[in-house]
Amino acid sequence: MITGASTGIGLALARHLVATTEHHVVLTARNASLSRFAGTGIEHGERVWIRALDVTSDTDRLRVVREIDDVLGGVDALVNNAGVALRAVVEHVREADRMRQMDVNFRAPMELARLVLPAMRARRAGRIVNVSSVAGMMAMPTMAAYAASKFALEGASEALWYEVRPFGIHVSLVQPGFVRSDGFEHVLSTSLSACSQDRTDDPYHAHYAHMRGFVERLMQRAPSTPDHVARVIARTLARRRPPLRVAGTLDAHFFTLLRRLLPRSLYHALLYRSLPSVGTWGAVNSEPCRSSLVDRPEEKR
């Protein structure tokens, strides 16, 4: 069962598994995203199920897992891939924004894991792969809520690894770094962060302007693609004893080594000095964007 299977890494993994395995594959996406499967070469059939699933919906989650339990005897392997990214500094994130980010990237995968575990535990076998990010081990400015959701996913998955290992269930975190895709175009903003990005006199405008361009350049030049990450996930699913953490891209290996080898004070100082045009950040300190609106960004899942 793959969540967020209609685009990006999820779609690449769906194509790979449909083409290379004889297993039943259950592909899920929000109802509004199901049309994306048209033209991909993936069609609903006896072996390949396509199901509507809003991962934040209790009703949808229970419906899909119950159907798999009733017809197929349970989920053998769950890949929690659906996710959303919010671009906003901490000052521009309200509680509603924060909870929406956590709902998709943390609460939903853990609830899906909870629902599939009884059948896995009864069989004393199963695989859960949570697609994390290098943002789950190192945070970037303007992406605080996103990093928080991935840090939470990493911590809960690590605890789960210990809890279910006695039952023969394996839990893994795949951590992609920068992936060559148009993903940067789909990053969401709150009303306050959108205002700051538009207003050159806002105190945080330089943060957004330089970080956005920086991330876009890294993604456009990244050697790793969604297909590359999909193959990493497929290999992780096939391993007899998969590790808890798996680097999903080449740069993820580099960031892991950097974090392990450098003293923490040097590590943070180096990353700070590496931020694009960081000397210009904070130069403007006029009245920041203010809004009475309750931010309700529309997630892409």
- Of 105, 2, 104, 18, nearest to 51 by C-alpha is 2
- Looking at residue 243, its amino acid is P
204 catalytic per annotation: no
CA–CA separation, 8 and 230 (whole Å) = 9
146 catalytic per annotation: yes
CB atoms within 10 A of CB 108: 26
| CB distance 88 to 67 below 8 Å | no
Furthest-apart CA atoms within the chain: distance in Å = 61
Give the list of residues 6+ apart from residue 259 with CB closer than 8 angstroms, or none: 137, 138, 267
CA–CA separation, 239 and 218 (whole Å) = 31
Instruction: Given the residues 150, 181, 196, 224, select the one marked as catalytic.
Output: 150
Instruction: Given the residues 146, 193, 208, 300, select the one marked as catalytic.
Output: 146
132 catalytic per annotation: yes
Instruction: Given the residues 132, 133, 149, 181, select the one marked as catalytic.
Output: 132
3-state secondary structure of 79: strand
CA–CA separation, 76 and 169 (whole Å) = 10
CA–CA separation, 222 and 236 (whole Å) = 22
- Positions annotated as catalytic residues are 132, 146, 150
